[in-house]
Amino acid sequence: MSLLRTLLILGIIYYSIRFIGKFVFPLLVNKVANNAQKKMQDRMEEIFRQQNKGAEGEISITRKSTKKKNRDDEGDFVDYEEVK
């Protein structure tokens, strides 16, 4: 009798978890997705605000550095002669 009772309790627990999971799991996934979407939107708004700091009509030009790279790190150049 105790085996039957244990199996019945396990079955009830199993099916109740499945039943609750059908409703709770989608809500949790939806909440996590909405939070991620909100964080990404906030980041994009912050980037947009940083890019548009200047006054309207103001033009700013950013140039890359014109310094030449140090070629010492590339290794030694070996001059060779072609042998015929």
* pLDDT for position 9: 95
Q: Residue 62: is it exposed, middle or buried by C-beta count within 10 angstroms (0-12/13-18/19+)? A: exposed
Given pLDDT bands bounded at 50, 70 and 90, which one contains residue 30? Answer: very high
pLDDT at residue 71 in the model: 57
CA–CA separation, 18 and 16 (whole Å)? 5
57: left (phi over 0), alpha (psi -120 to 50) or beta: left
CB 39 within 8 A of CB 45: no
What are the domain boundaries of the chain? 25-52
The pLDDT of residue 6 is 95
Token pair 């290794």 is at which residue? 75
At residue 27, the pLDDT reads: 92
Copy the structure tokens of residue 55. 């006054």
The whole-model pTM stands at 0.46
Please compute the mean of the pLDDT values over residues 14-43 and round it to a whole number. 93
